[in-house]
Amino acid sequence: MLNWKNLTSINELDKIVERSQEVPCAILKHSTRCSISTMAKMRLESGWDLPEADIEMYYLDLIAFREVSNYIAEKLEVHHESPQIILLRNGNVTYDASHLDITIAELKEGLTEQV
């Protein structure tokens, strides 16, 4: 089962980047007003087969926390998309995808990429 942790502040993002030095962390930027975003989130949840110890998953409601979403794009140097998933390992982005390109298989590849 996928265990989401809510991301609601800029300060939390900085902690997630630090945490990614210990364990991979992924952020799903989700628009609660978009059916494609809902579909991408449901696909992750329904096919989830990664142990909780292997990755920490964070959920950002980008409608409610737009300033956090903007800060993510700036700090991590990724183009803003919605929906979007960003994987961090050792403080670096190793996987970034949006819309229906968000897949568990690609996320797993990002987990094994050399950083």
Segment-wise mean pLDDT, segments of 10 residues, the chain, 115 residues: 94 97 96 93 93 94 95 94 94 92 90 74
| Model pLDDT, residue 65 | 96
Confirm if 20 and 49 have CB atoms less than 8 A apart: no
| Model pLDDT, residue 33 | 93
85: closest CA among 75, 71, 99? 99
- pTM of the predicted model, to two decimals? 0.93
Token pair recorded at residue 110: 């990002």
> Domains in the chain, please, with CATH?
4-112 (3.40.30.10)
Residue tagged 């902690």 (tokens): 15
